[in-house]
């Protein structure tokens, strides 16, 4: 038993051609419908959209190119192959401009037509998959937004209400923030709230956990790099400073950032510009920085884990999240 490979609609006013094409395509496993006029063709399409339409340009009740326009307007994902004896270059170019998948002139080799149909079906399938992925992405974004809303902290205690008041006061500013507190107290959640209430909330919040990357990798993650900057740099990578442009850069566990990188990052905060690894181009930096650490700040400074000058740059506002116990 032959498996149906796709739904094909043939629109042609020459009955011998309709019958020949119908027999050819059915023999190769396609589900075929035919129409001898534009009106009949639209009726078939409205009853159940076809994957591919084989369209003759010369129809008794409509101009073929106008018919093509209407199909692409009403059934945008349907692929149209123009099949006609009128094989002028102008017709071919015009039909492609108007959205036809391809143009083939009569007489044609059956193998050529079958190959075009297979390619058109492949494109139609990719478009359908793209639309499904977009729909799934939209659903996931909605679910993520719902989850993030549910994760909004409840400021019940006196200490948390004071933090909420401080966030309200400073979030709309451009001031840098340092969040301290034990692991698991919700420092990242607080950072999310600050970003959400800031003037940069419509732009991205980019997060980098300084403890999660080896020292050899974290510089490239932060500043980006160009192809060939180091062994393994096969492509350009813009980096997180670029990704946070117009938004917020959240640096978690900042006391784990290597000291030499802290020096370079401090320069970015001072000069508001940076250079990706391996590049000679100086780029503008436009982000607000929120740092966080679970390491006691006084110890981090005393042990030279955190540069004092970087600390003072970050510490325009400091939020100490109380322990959960």
Give the CA distances from residue 211 to residues 250, 272, 295, 314, in Å, rounded to whole numbers and listed in that order. Answer: 13, 24, 12, 18
Indicate whether 292 pLDDT > 90.
yes
pLDDT tier for residue 206 given thresholds of 50, 70 and 90? very high
d(CA 297, CA 303): 10
Identify the H or E element spanning 251. Answer: strand 247-252
Indicate whether 172 pLDDT > 50.
yes
**Does 7-131 match 153-320 in CATH topology?**
yes
Q: For 4-28, how does the pLDDT look when each residue is reduced to its tens digit (9 = 90+)?
A: 578 999 999 889 889 999 999 999 9
pLDDT tier for residue 195 given thresholds of 50, 70 and 90? very high
CATH code reported for the domain at 153-320: 3.40.50.300
d(CA 223, CA 228): 15
Across the range 84-88, mean pLDDT stands at 68
Going from N- to C-terminal start, the domains of the chain cover 7-131, 153-320
Indicate whether 265 pLDDT > 90.
yes
Phi then psi dihedrals of residue 34, to 5 deg:
-130, 155
Indicate whether 89 pLDDT > 80.
no
What pLDDT score was predicted for residue 276?
94
What pLDDT score was predicted for residue 154?
57
d(CA 283, CA 243): 12
Across the range 278-306, mean pLDDT stands at 94
What pLDDT score was predicted for residue 127?
82
Please report, rounded to a whole number, the percentage of residues in the chain having pLDDT higher than 70: 92
Longest Cα–Cα distance of the chain, Å, equals 91
What pLDDT score was predicted for residue 232?
66
Q: Is beta strand 283-284 parallel, antiparallel or unpaired with respect to 273-274?
A: antiparallel
Q: Are 225 and 233 in contact (CB under 8 A)?
A: yes
What pLDDT score was predicted for residue 151?
54
Please report, rounded to a whole number, the percentage of residues in the chain having pLDDT higher than 90: 56
What pLDDT score was predicted for residue 156?
67
Tell which wins on pLDDT, 154 or 211. Answer: 211
Across the range 185-211, mean pLDDT stands at 91
Least confident of 47-56, 95-104, 134-143, 234-243: 134-143
Residue-averaged pLDDT of the chain? 88
Q: For 117-169, how does the pLDDT look when each residue is reduced to its tens digit (9 = 90+)?
A: 999 999 888 888 888 887 888 788 777 666 655 555 656 678 888 888 999 99
Candidates 3.40.220.10, 2.60.120.10, 3.40.640.10, 3.40.50.2300; correct CATH number of 7-131?
A: 3.40.50.2300
Indicate whether 69 pLDDT > 70.
yes
d(CA 284, CA 97): 40
Q: Is beta strand 273-274 parallel, antiparallel or unpaired with respect to 317-320?
A: unpaired
pLDDT tier for residue 2 given thresholds of 50, 70 and 90? very low
Tell which wins on pLDDT, 214 or 253. Answer: 253
d(CA 21, CA 27): 10
């Amino acid at each position: 038993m032959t498996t149906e490979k796709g739904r094909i609609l043939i629109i042609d006013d020459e009955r011998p051609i309709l019958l020949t094409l119908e027999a050819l395509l059915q023999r190769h496993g396609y589900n075929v419908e035919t129409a001898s006029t534009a009106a009949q063709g639209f009726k078939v399409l409205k009853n159940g959209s076809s994957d591919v339409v084989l369209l003759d340009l010369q129809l008794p009740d409509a101009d073929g190119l106008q018919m093509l326009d209407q199909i692409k307007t009403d059934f945008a994902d349907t692929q149209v192959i123009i099949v006609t004896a009128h094989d002028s270059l102008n017709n071919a170019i015009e039909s492609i401009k108007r959205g036809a998948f391809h143009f083939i002139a009569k007489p044609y080799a059956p193998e050529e037509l079958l190959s075009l149909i297979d390619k058109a079906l492949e494109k139609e399938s990719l478009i359908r998959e793209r639309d499904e992925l977009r729909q799934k992405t939209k659903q996931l974004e909605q679910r993520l937004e719902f989850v993030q809303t549910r994760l909004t902290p409840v400021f019940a205690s006196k200490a948390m209400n004071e933090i909420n008041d401080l966030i309200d006061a400073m979030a709309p500013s451009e001031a840098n923030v340092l969040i301290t507190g034990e692991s698991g107290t919700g420092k990242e959640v607080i950072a999310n709230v600050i970003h959400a209430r800031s003037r940069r909330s419509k732009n991205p919040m980019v997060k980098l956990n300084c403890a999660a990357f080896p020292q050899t990798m974290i510089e490239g993650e932060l500043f980006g790099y160009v192809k060939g900057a180091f062994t393994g740099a096969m492509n350009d990578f813009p980096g997180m400073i670029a990704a946070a442009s117009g938004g917020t850069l959240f640096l978690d566990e900042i006391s784990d950032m290597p000291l030499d990188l802290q020096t370079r990052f401090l320069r970015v905060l001072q000069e508001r510009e940076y250079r990706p690894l391996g590049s000679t181009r100086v780029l503008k930096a436009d982000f607000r920085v929120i740092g966080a650490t679970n390491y006691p700040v006084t110890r981090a400074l005393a042990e030279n884990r955190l540069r004092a000058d970087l600390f003072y740059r970050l510490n325009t506002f400091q939020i100490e999240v109380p322990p959960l116990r």
